[in-house]
Structure 1
């Protein structure tokens, strides 16, 4: 074990979003925040060292994205996930949500239909509505074992000539699925049949637990490459959200040119010189760190699962991400009561399941990407609250 995830520095006195927004979101600062998807684990030292080295040059001005940055990502994606992107396919973006909004504007018009698969990360449906497109929900199917699958029959039933875009979460946030090849091929078949472009949010693609394997949508076939927009980056994998850098891969030249019309009009520009070197260092040097991180995260998840299941909370089987999807319906609480239970009794700030769509009613999302020490605090708070709830009921 080369890296130590047992402790981490405090973020209380920084401007960290997950801490500074506690009062606004939960009505109190007296909660351990486990909501937004960044880690209470230190950004890798090799990333910070690369930034320090860049700061030896005293001028931080406008810079173009260096080809070496994208080449590092291309090689990582080829080696780790078996997908081939070319340098000309790649575009800088400051966030996946920004890329998603640009895609909605580029590939649809007002009144067109855009498909999302709920429960899903809230910007998926907010972005569609804000662009005055018609939101089409294709809810995932929840099985008796707590796992989720696509509902292809429902998807087919909701498509018509105005359906232009499908927003795919892969791996899925919040339910933690790694879609199998055959599942993705069903989505591909439907989208090819109806000339639908697929925006594939693959930002969590490196946070996969064995024996699962991420299948990039663009890797399915040549036809899949021709209809796919792939959003990827270092933010989740290496806890680098504050660098505000990700990328978009668009192999189809015609789609790329349509995207660029919006992209250039918005003026995404080329990002920060410090972000460039951080991004490249993560992909060049991050493999060993990531493997050790995933082993740590798996331990955290197991502890959480064992605790929850003693008190009638079902933990959705997780294949990817560091976001646990907790089925709390066994507690007999309505959504508002459930939120209050976690805030007031457990003193934990989680993401309410209902915010991911009505299919999330009765669920909560908990970010377990924390140090061992902080995970112990979370478990202690949670178990004390659940014991009290059981006695009262």
Structure 2
């Protein structure tokens, strides 16, 4: 690992301003000013692995960019990766292309529920989880996560059981969890599984952050729990978060159960997902085949960034606390100690810290008093983020 750290440097990264990067071009619209460092949308201000870029450049030597099928070798690269990294074996027949996890989620809701049916989400959670349910006229069932005095989150199983009725058909599971950063233990997932089996509930498992897990924690693929889990699970996977490749717009859906897959495909084929872009196919396969060492070095770098942020939070603990993180590059900041309303809290980060974060309230009412900060940046930019936050907290303390 020392060799990997020397080989890959994350001290600086390429500048994204002027490149049509979403997090930069939307600053004025979202924050009312361009004078903020954007640390909201979940992609990295870190260069995509050079092996991926080199493979795309090589493909561009052929002058025709036309329609292509996703090659079996690309799916197989992901299958091999998931088996090696997480101990779950999918097969080629299980795999479907998707341009995004959110699109896959919409499709799952269409496939396994009808209007008025209940869909469970575990809040606070990534906003498209509940937006998707409401946009499709399903009944939103909120099973709020439990948070203890140390800021650690867990499932509320009793509430989960109590919320279910005969019209509850689907659970949208976020694993690892965004925004609270939990890696669910096998025991916790088994409790969820037993309830879903008892009530005939299909599980859509968003596992897009499964490769961004910090030691000693280990991700468990929900479908790997046992044969019953495999039979009720739709698993969403992808390279977008892991290798900073969201702009390639390629993810996958893995469905081991044939009947479940047929049901999903009825909704899937109405949308015409097609097969994506030839350059995405090349990038996707290359990342899984060649970028393992880069990822290991990246995770060490990301955790250093997290620790840097946590040090400032400890220094000003009466105002702000960082929720203990086990996965993702998204810090869930408990700012309730500041004693201000959500609107004022957002204004503090924009106007005082000059930072553009996600407001916690956007993840559900359970996020009131929280903010989400993306620390997937270079070391140099992380130091600037921390300095801006510290100066703002210092002024608040003095003033």
Distance 2:248 2:391 in 1: 37
Shift of 1:83: 0.4
Shift of 1:9: 1.0
**Which residue of structure 2 lines up, in the alignment, with residue 271 of structure 1?**
276
**Which residue of structure 1 lines up, in the alignment, with residue 334 of structure 2?**
327
Match of 2:233 among 228, 236, 251: 228
Distance 1:376 1:309 in 2: 16
Distance 2:167 2:373 in 1: 37
Match of 2:78 among 53, 73, 76: 73
**Which residue of structure 1 lines up, in the alignment, with residue 348 of structure 2?**
341
Shift of 1:224: 0.2
**Which residue of structure 1 lines up, in the alignment, with residue 95 of structure 2?**
90
- Partner-residue secondary structure (3-state), 1:35: coil
Shift of 1:67: 0.1
Distance 2:335 2:270 in 1: 45
Shift of 1:185: 0.1
- Partner-residue secondary structure (3-state), 1:207: coil
Q: 1:299 and 2:304 equivalent? A: yes
Q: 1:364 and 2:387 equivalent? A: no
- Partner-residue secondary structure (3-state), 1:125: helix
Distance 2:398 2:206 in 1: 43
Match of 2:324 among 317, 329, 334: 317
Superposed CA offset, 1:308-327 (max 9, x none): 12112111000000000000
Q: 1:253 and 2:290 equivalent? A: no
Q: 1:156 and 2:170 equivalent? A: no
Match of 2:114 among 109, 114, 118: 109
**Which residue of structure 2 lines up, in the alignment, with residue 206 of structure 1?**
211
**Which residue of structure 1 lines up, in the alignment, with residue 3 of structure 2?**
none
Shift of 1:261: 0.9
Provide the alpha-carbon RMSD of the alignment: 0.5
Superposed CA offset, 1:204-257 (max 9, x none): 000000000000000100000000000000000000000000000001111111
- Partner-residue secondary structure (3-state), 1:324: strand
**Which residue of structure 1 lines up, in the alignment, with residue 189 of structure 2?**
184
Gap runs ≥5 in structure 2: 1-5
Match of 2:242 among 230, 234, 237: 237
Distance 2:398 2:344 in 1: 17
Distance 1:282 1:390 in 2: 46
Stretches (4+) displaced over 4 A:
none
- The alignment's TM-score, normalised by the length of structure 1, stands at 0.99
**Which residue of structure 1 lines up, in the alignment, with residue 380 of structure 2?**
373
Match of 1:10 among 9, 12, 15: 15
Distance 1:173 1:30 in 2: 27
Q: 1:64 and 2:80 equivalent? A: no
Q: 1:308 and 2:313 equivalent? A: yes
**Which residue of structure 1 lines up, in the alignment, with residue 49 of structure 2?**
44
Superposed CA offset, 1:15-45 (max 9, x none): 1000000001000000000000000000000
- The alignment's TM-score, normalised by the length of structure 2, stands at 0.98
Distance 1:155 1:299 in 2: 36
Shift of 1:144: 1.1
